[in-house]
Structure 1
Amino acid sequence: MEEKLAFVEGAEQPLSMHPKKFALWLFIVSVVMVFAGMTSAYIVRQSEGNWLEFDLPDVFWYNSGIIVLSSLSIHWSYLSAKKDDFNSLKLGLIATTFLGLAFLVGQWYSWIALVEQDVYFVGNPAGSFMYVFTGLHGLHLVSGVIFLIIVLISSLGNKIHSQNMPQLEMCVTYWHFLGGLWLYLFMFLLLNH
């Protein structure tokens, strides 16, 4: 009987994940599938001809730098929370939120730059794809900024610390995903434009 008990006690625990983290990963996978489908459609439609040639807005480069900086600042927040450094946690979240807002302002200016080149949402499919890519990513970034604000409010009440990290971990995961998605889209457009 003792051998049987020893075997049961040594049984491995099943892998588990916080249910909200699992839901976030399902959402991320669905967003990846949407953008993969759109980039595939872009390539197929571009190969059919009648494709408007125009320069990508210069602000895309600045936005890429902003999104990289925001990933660094949110990672700093994460490391600070693990050390219970509440001031750095809050400062990093505030910086990330402002960088996220700066990115959205940059996207607005990219649309202004497209209009100045006579590239519109309606008309040539090249322009339509550009607005859909940047607009859909911008919409997801708005949700990311809202999530950042919610986490910032929690951090102001000292509810985020080394013993309570799930909300911050989810926010960090989503924000890094949004940054990676932007860099993918920008590189895709540079290579296929």
Structure 2
Amino acid sequence: MTTLHVLPGQAAWWPGPGPERQAVRRAGLWVLTGVISMLFFLFGAAYVMRMAVADWRPLPVVPWQLWCGSALLLAASMAWQLAWRAASRGRELAATLAVAVACASSVLFLGAQLWAWQAMSGRDLTVAANPANSFFYLITGLHGVHVIGGLVAAGLAAWPLVRGGGVLRASGGIELCARYWHFLLVLWLAMFAMLFLVTPAVVQAVCGIT
């Protein structure tokens, strides 16, 4: 049976510090990622169904900036994993450096995405030019919003490291950030493949539409 440690001014249903509270936070993260996954699934379904309309024109190119962004997001995910490992072992300096690399890579990822938008606009691939373009900006922009939200949470999680001497206290939050960034990476790769590999011809072949 789970024991609840109730502190003064703390709600009776909220677990106290330690494994119980971390378990609640993990469950909350699972719920969050489930909701986000469903949101992107619905946009993906709308994207595929919209292809059936005659005015659909697939995106002609993959901006090279997006390849760089993918590499940066992969680096951020790996850095969070290293930060989690270092924090769980009490290695404060290594954890701090890994968190810094993860956050910097994430910010650069957002910059690469904005650069890709600028490059596409320069080729007249604007939001209003075609429905496929609109979905591209919508989906990549929505993913970017979730990265920004993750960075805000990362700042809160890493605060004990900034104050110094709090690596073990920060380890729980760093674990959640690592899990979240792994999710963001998988989500980005899935969206990337959908936007540039799924075409009306592919949908027709898979669904058997003639």
Instruction: Calculate the TM-score normalised by the size of structure 2.
Output: 0.79
Deviations 1:147-171 (A, max 9, x none): 222222222233231x763222211
Residue identity matched to 1:99 = S
Residue identity matched to 1:64 = S
Question: Does the residue aligned with 1:68 lie in a helix, a strand or coil?
Answer: helix
Check 1:104–1:115 CA distance in 2 against 1; reply closer, same or farther (3 A cut): same
Unaligned 5+ runs, structure 2: 3-19, 200-210
Residue identity matched to 1:61 = W
Q: Which residue of 2 aligns with 1:58?
A: 64
Give the CA deviation at 1:72.
1.0
Deviations 1:99-154 (A, max 9, x none): 00000000100110110121122242111100001100000000111122222222
Matched, 1:75 2:84: no
Within 5 Å, which residues of 2 pair with 1:20-31? 20-31=25-36
Match of 1:19 among 4, 16, 24: 24
Deviations 1:65-103 (A, max 9, x none): 111111111111011011111000000000001000000
Q: Which residue of 1 aligns with 2:171?
A: 165
The answer (yes or no) to whether the contact 1:94–1:152 under 8 Å persists in 2 is: no
Aligned length: 180
Give the CA deviation at 1:180.
1.3
Residue identity matched to 1:52 = R
**What's the C-alpha RMSD, in Å, of the aligned pairs?**
2.0
Q: Which residue of 2 aligns with 1:105?
A: 111
Q: Which residue of 2 aligns with 1:6?
A: none
Matched, 1:118 2:127: no
Instruction: Calculate the TM-score normalised by the size of structure 1.
Output: 0.85
- Between the aligned residues of both structures, percent identity stands at 26
Query: 1-side partners of 2:86 and 2:171: how far apart?
Result: 11
